[in-house]
Structure 1
Amino acid sequence: MESFNRFSRWIGFGNRGVIADNDPIEQEKAMKFDALLTNAVIFHNALGIAEIVRQLLEEGWEIDPEDLAHISPYLTEHINRFGEYRTHELDIQPEAYDPKLDVDFTLLREQDLIAAGLGQAA
């Protein structure tokens, strides 16, 4: 949770997170905009991570679900908040996204259940 909060503060850098408006409706809009922007960047990062995992699988790498469990979508190094932004690309239609990621997380889920004391009784 702390990682998410730190990431959210990094994304919402304007006015250092201070909502200067006293109007509750405007405050709510500002908070929802920050949440929308944060979630959009997390989604963008998750798509990028999934694409890299797909490429590695195609190259023959063996992907261990435990390794993937340590990857965070709270990446910021590739984001240039103060850079130049082009909007002419908004009219370009993206290719259809394939949500299937061919990695078996069953063992990882079972280990988590056992660690939480929710595994099957012996």
Structure 2
Amino acid sequence: MSANVIIFHEAGDIAEVARQLQGKGQIVDSEGLAHISPYLTEHIRRFGEYSTLELGLQPEAYGPHLNVDFGPLRGDGPPVPRGYGQAA
């Protein structure tokens, strides 16, 4: 979104300069303005650089089994509060 705001601001600046030149008697025609763009495309990579070399690489097979120990962290398990788990 910030790129759109910058482009909008640049278009406003270009329009203001064109008005100032017309006010000084300069001829500002649509052909001349067609060569000016608020959206620069040379030397700017708006979305970054992306390599296409990785497109042909095959990923490793997915292994659904994780090597995780789900055992208790301390002792035999969580402490049992008094009164719970005891026969009446």
Q: Normalising by structure 2, report the TM-score.
A: 0.43
TM-score by length of 1: 0.32
Structure with the greater alpha carbon radius of gyration: 2
